[in-house]
Amino acid sequence: DIVDILKPLWATKQETASRLRGRIEKVLHAAKARGWRTGENPARWRGHLDHLLPRRQKLQRGHHPAMPYGEVPAFIGRLRARDAVAARALEFLILTAARTGEVIGATWSEIDHGSGVWTIPANRMKAGREHRVPLSTRAIEILSEATKLRESEEPTVYLFPSSRRGQPLSNMAFKQLLVRMGESGFVPHGFRSSFRDWCGECTPFPREVAEAALAHIVGNSVEQAYRRGDALEKRREIMQAWAEFTQPK
């Protein structure tokens, strides 16, 4: 049954299929722990599904549909015309070149207002490494707007809370917003590509700084051992330049 579910996705939507398999595995693990089922987990990869489905590295990796960077300023102008938490959060995502999960799970305890830095803990990062994000002037303005939500009748620990008390925005909030704005051809993650393309084509910033801004690990293990800093101040320059570029004209 699990193979039948995964096969239609495995060849065309690799990332979705892989995440789906992992979630099924977790559900069945939890069911076994509660005594609701017995036996091996049929959704496990190693020694089981890896013999029935192609390995990820052999599959063609798709690209997240990205908005051309030249169109981002006008899009942000339309975002600002919308009075919604999701709109502020999506603009914050674009300005910080962060991933959806990193933004919707962001809490006020991760923000250092004095230094203008957002520190995402390792357990919330894809690579499992703490990542510091220097905040542009506009990103700080968005946080100032979000502060009003903390002063409401139902204070929240999240930067961008949902309408459900004590909960962050849904991970579908950005996709739904894009659909409502008639931009269903793009995905939130694609704005990271928009940022990277802009860095490479329109700025003199070194590749290493642009990659560090995306929390990508650059170089082999030896290079990483000698590159212990995270180029925070250089990245502050690039994030401010990106914010200024994306200002609606």
Residue tagged active-site, from 192, 234, 235, 236: 192
Q: Could you say which of 126, 129, 180, 207 is catalytic?
A: 126
Question: Rounded to the nearest 5 degrees, what angle is found at the Cα of 216, between the Cα atoms of 157 and 123?
Answer: 35
Half-sphere exposure of 131 (CA within 13 A, CB side): 25
The torsion angles phi and psi of 182, rounded to 5 degrees, stand at: 75, 25
DSSP calls for 79-119: HHTS-SHHHHHHHHHHHHT--HHHHHT-BGGGEETTTTEEE
β pairing state of 131-134 and 117-120: antiparallel
Q: State the catalytic residue, choosing from 19, 37, 80, 216.
A: 216
Q: Is the CA virtual torsion 17, 210, 223, 60 positive or negative?
A: positive
Catalytically annotated residue among 21, 69, 88, 99: 99
Catalytic (active site) residue 227: no
* Catalytic entry in 189, 196, 234, 236: 189
Phi, psi of 51 (to 5 degrees): -90, -10
Determine whether 56 is an active site residue.
no
131 labelled catalytic: no
Q: Position of tokens 């890896």?
A: 50
Residues 143, 96 contacting (CB under 8 angstroms): no
Q: Which of 51, 61, 148, 226 is catalytic?
A: 226
The verdict on whether 165 is a catalytic residue reads no
Known catalytic residues? 99, 126, 189, 192, 216, 226
